[in-house]
Amino acid sequence: MGIWVGRRRGLLASALVLVFGTVLSGCTVWPAASLSVDDAKREAIAFLEQTVGQEAHVAWPVTPDPIATRCAGGDGVRFQYLVVASTKKGSHLAESLGTYWTSAGFEVVRSQEDFGEHGVLYSATARADEKPWGSYEISRSGINLYIDSRCAAGDVRNFE
């Protein structure tokens, strides 16, 4: 039982680092400059659709509504799309998405952690200047896919 609790804490810590790293790093690099909200959402949705289009064997849900967050310094707004789906092919999916993102010009940082009888957790981030960003967490129970728009001109309070 003690090993499982420790592994769960490690899994939770990995997930929190991925999510908060995505949120914080995405906000500190992108200027809100002149990108419109509609263009930021359109770019992010196109990237999401291209990403999920790489894996037809996954029963991807419809595109969710995004969560609006404030950009660095409170100047601008960005949108995060979270897609959750089931998959039994974790290692294949991790390799496929990482390969696609690399071929699309993103810098991809991958990691994996073996939790023994509880399986392997695969995670990755995909970053590039002037593009939406992506990240994922894949376990034997499914995938959490995050797509973050670039920052756009606007106020996050308008989207609460």
Task: Give pLDDT, residue 109.
Answer: 97
Helix (H, G, I), strand (E, B) or coil at 38: helix
2-159 maps to which CATH number?
3.30.2030
Residue 28 in this model has a pLDDT that exceeds 90: no
Average pLDDT over residues 124-140: 95
Task: Give pLDDT, residue 89.
Answer: 86
Average pLDDT over residues 141-156: 93
Task: Give pLDDT, residue 55.
Answer: 87
Residue 75 in this model has a pLDDT that exceeds 70: yes
Task: Give pLDDT, residue 33.
Answer: 53
What would the pLDDT profile of 80-130 be if each residue is shown by its tens digit?
999 999 988 889 999 999 999 999 999 999 999 999 988 999 999 999 999
Residue 149 in this model has a pLDDT that exceeds 70: yes
pTM confidence score: 0.78
Q: Which ranges of the chain would DSSP assign to H, the alpha helix?
A: 2-29, 37-52, 90-103
Q: Is 105 exposed, middle or buried (0-12, 13-18, 19+ CB in 10 A)?
A: exposed
Q: Across all residues in the chain, what is the average pLDDT?
A: 83
Residue 69 in this model has a pLDDT that exceeds 80: yes
Residue 31 in this model has a pLDDT that exceeds 90: no
What band does 3 get if pLDDT is binned at 50, 70 and 90?
Answer: low
End-to-end Cα spacing for the chain: 41
